[in-house]
């Protein structure tokens, strides 16, 4: 208990991180505010649920394996929707309506109050709950782990972690607002463990229930906290980050870019902040919402579709609005180019490579030459048992017609004992 208290104090006193691996003191938002960049995509958004789908308190979103996961905090309901490249959605099997969820250790008549949702690499769902709706006056910051495909009704949490004591005080309805799982590989070398002062090493946490960190957003102070959740129900706070946003409502990690996104609700004008965990030198970047999104609406969920759903450089982005029965979920698009390299090679006299339509190149390497008998030399070869050859690349098919050699004269000595072509034509090596 004493060690846990010391760890908690160290993390509490640690300076917020602007570049996630550096313990550099954070200046005030006024001192460091950068001009916000425009939304990197289409400015229009489209309403998905023109007819009521959710129950009026839609709160959190996450994307995993081609599916969009949504949660309603009014009574603790979960939805899973199949997603398609054009942004359209269809309820997954068993999710024609929202499925009720419950605590691991008790039932709640009015259900938990889950504000955020994330899915780990094993497909397990984690809900960020800020209170029990049976006791709405009392803050209780809990993470629930559940199997979204469990046959039970309601879905009973498999495990839970009570983080209330490890976080700063938060009034009721001002607790954890979002949660996002990020794999250990994605944060390695980018997050400093406040318990050791060194880059995070998951080997120090052998009891972690998932190979990664859980980032939580606390509504009371608009700070983000990184946790390791242990399989015995304990938790260890690892880091604290300050993205410089007001009204933080959602977290999203995009593995395609290696970026942690943070979005605000109407209190922050629906702006976003992004930190490239893939770039050790990166700082937080402010991003404006699309013009078609009303900055005054209470947007609490944000999710980016996986890269595989990109079509024509358009990648679906979903937002979830709290407090409405229809028109809660909107679909927009960000610009995203996925390189597509055709099978045909581009060549010169020395190398071959593939080219994407955007001009990006890949797979460049030197030719691997073998000997090729030319048709023009076949008659002469049959007459005097000599033949002219050209070098042929065995991978891309490039023929170097500017160079010739005869049977018994090898361009590459290492091929001298395998005159395959001459054997095929019945031409003896001389």
Lowest mean pLDDT among 154-158, 252-256, 373-377: 373-377
Structure confidence at residue 35 as a pLDDT band (50, 70, 90): confident
Q: What is the DSSP string of 359-404?
A: S-EEEEEE--EEEEE-GGGHHHHHHHS--EEEEEETTT--B-TT--
- Indicate if the pLDDT at residue 143 is higher than 60: yes
Structure confidence at residue 372 as a pLDDT band (50, 70, 90): low
CA 294 – CA 191 distance, rounded (Å) = 34
The reported pLDDT for the residue numbered 188 is 82
Q: What mean pLDDT comes out for the span 295-311?
A: 95
Per-residue DSSP letter, 314? E
The reported pLDDT for the residue numbered 360 is 85
Mean pLDDT of the chain: 83
Residue-wise pLDDT for 175-200, tens only, equals 999 999 999 999 887 888 999 999 98
Q: Which two tokens stand for residue 55?
A: 């129950």
Residue whose C-alpha is closest to residue 248's, from 276, 283, 224? 224
The reported pLDDT for the residue numbered 92 is 96
CA 180 – CA 227 distance, rounded (Å) = 10
Lowest mean pLDDT among 10-14, 256-260, 336-340: 10-14
> What ranges in 143-293 are assigned the alpha helix state H?
184-187
Q: What mean pLDDT comes out for the span 333-346?
A: 87
- Indicate if the pLDDT at residue 300 is higher than 90: yes
Whether 136 contacts 109, CB under 8 Å: no
- Indicate if the pLDDT at residue 302 is higher than 60: yes
Residue-wise pLDDT for 381-427, tens only, equals 455 445 556 777 888 888 877 766 555 444 444 444 444 444 333 33
The reported pLDDT for the residue numbered 429 is 36
């Amino acid at each position: 208990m004493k060690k846990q208290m010391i760890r908690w104090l160290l993390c509490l006193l640690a300076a917020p991180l602007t570049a996630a691996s550096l313990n550099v003191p954070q200046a005030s938002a006024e001192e460091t505010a950068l001009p916000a960049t425009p939304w990197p995509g289409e400015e229009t958004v489209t309403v998905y649920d023109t007819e009521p789908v959710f129950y009026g308190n839609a709160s959190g979103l996450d994307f995993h394996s081609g599916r969009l996961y949504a949660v309603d905090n009014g009574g603790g309901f979960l939805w899973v929707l199949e997603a398609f490249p054009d942004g359209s959605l269809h309820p997954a099997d068993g999710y024609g309506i929202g499925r009720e969820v419950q605590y691991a250790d008790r039932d709640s008549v009015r259900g938990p109050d889950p504000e955020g949702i994330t899915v780990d690499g094993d497909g397990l769902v984690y809900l960020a709950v800020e209170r029990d709706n049976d006791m709405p006056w009392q803050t209780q910051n809990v993470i629930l782990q559940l199997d979204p495909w469990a046959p039970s009704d309601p879905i009973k949490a498999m495990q839970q972690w009570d983080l209330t004591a490890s976080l700063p005080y938060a009034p009721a309805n001002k607790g954890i607002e979002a949660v996002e799982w990020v794999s250990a590989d994605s944060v390695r070398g980018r997050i400093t463990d406040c318990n050791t002062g060194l880059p995070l090493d998951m080997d120090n946490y052998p009891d972690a229930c998932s190979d990664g960190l859980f980032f939580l957003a606390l509504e009371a102070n608009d700070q983000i906290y990184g946790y390791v959740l242990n399989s015995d129900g304990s938790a260890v706070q690892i880091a604290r980050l300050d993205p410089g946003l007001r009204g933080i409502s959602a977290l999203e990690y995009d593995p395609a870019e290696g970026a942690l996104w943070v979005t605000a609700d109407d209190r922050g004008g629906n702006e976003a902040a992004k930190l490239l965990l893939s770039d050790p030198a990166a700082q937080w970047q402010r991003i404006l919402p699309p013009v078609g999104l009303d900055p005054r609406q209470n947007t609490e969920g944000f999710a980016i579709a996986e890269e595989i759903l990109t079509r024509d450089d358009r990648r679906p982005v979903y937002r979830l609005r709290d407090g409405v029965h229809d028109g809660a979920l909107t679909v927009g698009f960000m610009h995203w180019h996925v390189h597509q390299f055709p099978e045909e090679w581009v060549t010169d006299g020395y190398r071959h490579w593939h080219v994407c339509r955007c001009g990006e190149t890949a797979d460049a390497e030197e030719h691997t030459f073998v000997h090729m008998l030319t048709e023009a030399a076949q008659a002469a070869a049959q007459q005097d048992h000599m033949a002219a050859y050209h070098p042929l690349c065995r991978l891309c098919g490039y023929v170097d017609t500017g160079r010739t050699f005869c049977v018994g004269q090898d361009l590459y000595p290492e091929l001298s004992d395998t005159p395959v072509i001459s054997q095929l034509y019945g031409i003896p090596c001389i």
